[in-house]
Amino acid sequence: MHVHFLDPYQPRQSPVHGLDGRVKLVLAVAFILTTSLAPMGAWAVYILLLAFLLSAELLSEVPLRYFLTRAILALPFVLAALPLPFSVPGTPLAEVSIGKVDLSITTEGLARLISIALKSWISVQMAILLTVSTPFPELLQAMRALRIPRLLVAIFGLMWRYLFVFMDEALRLLRARTARSSQHPQQNYRSGRTVTWRACVTGAMAGSLFLRAFERSDRIYLAMLARGYDGEIRAKPLPPLPRSQQLLLVGGIALFLLIGVFGQLLTLLR
């Protein structure tokens, strides 16, 4: 069974989807690097990057809601930066009392927190845009064309393909549990025992899932070896980039360099 909802690729006939995977991969990495290296509090740089990102998302013809809902993945990075307004020295903005402890929120710390939140949110959206507009096999081919180590590309490919196998095993376990569970005639009745009992059942299912997935992965690998797998997933050589896409690639990299230099100039002028 193919668990298609794990695959984020959204087929469209858009200008972004029509770009070569090598171009999209290089531009996405350059965009994320530019965002990561942007100085803290460089709001003009963030606006430029966000404008570029929104333009690319609109050109992809994928609804903006799709990107915004999945950009919640940036939340853990923001949570890790929550102590910054209280720990970064600077101009006091407000005082907060927690029990007997008085904490001071500084302007510099708050600006750093907002900067990290924006940079994480923008970077995650660019990664989502890349995976939405590019099939995963094309991404692997682009990695190989960009001379990324063969072993690393093979690990990426096997990890991605085995996600579907892992999810297939999980769905089999859930189906088996449903087939062995009776349904109470009363609606909205919560069957089962205590929370501890439920946790034990869930733990047993997780352990069974790990063992079944491990055994199946071993069988898959042996089947791959029997079919001549030697660590290299072969594909047809990619055609040369059209001149228009070469110009787009050079122009995109130049644009990100200018945005990075602009951010550094803003830092010097403060």
pLDDT for 146-173, tens place per residue?
888 888 888 888 888 888 878 888 888 8
Of all residues in the chain, what percent carry a pLDDT higher than 70? 92
Helix (H, G, I), strand (E, B) or coil at 187: coil
Element (H, E) at 98: strand 92-98
Mean pLDDT value across residues 81-86: 82
Between 81 and 131, where is the model more confident?
131
Per-residue pLDDT at 258:
95
Mean pLDDT value across residues 124-146: 90
Q: What is the pTM of this model?
A: 0.81
Per-residue pLDDT at 247:
95
With b for 16 or more beta-carbon neighbours within 10 A and e for fewer, the 53-92 pattern comes to beebbebbebeeebbeebbeebeeeeeebeebbbebeeee
- What residue type is assigned to position 72 of the chain? I
The distance in angstroms from the start CA to the end CA of the chain is 58
Of all residues in the chain, what percent carry a pLDDT higher than 90? 29
**Nearest to residue 15, comparing CAs of 121, 104, 123, 129?**
129
- Answer whether residue 186 shows pLDDT above 70: no
| 260 vs 180: CA distance, rounded Å | 59
| CB of 45 closer than 8 Å to CB of 270 | no
Mean pLDDT value across residues 10-36: 92
Between 239 and 93, where is the model more confident?
239
- Answer whether residue 9 shows pLDDT above 80: no
**Nearest to residue 112, comparing CAs of 41, 35, 37, 38?**
41
Mean pLDDT value across residues 74-90: 80
Comparing 67-81, 96-110, 181-195, which segment has the lowest mean pLDDT? 181-195
Q: Tell me the average pLDDT of the chain.
A: 84
Q: Which residues is 94 bridged to in the sheet? A: 105
- Answer whether residue 2 shows pLDDT above 50: no
| CB of 173 closer than 8 Å to CB of 209 | yes
Q: Which residues is 103 bridged to in the sheet? A: 96
Helix (H, G, I), strand (E, B) or coil at 13: coil
- Answer whether residue 33 shows pLDDT above 90: yes
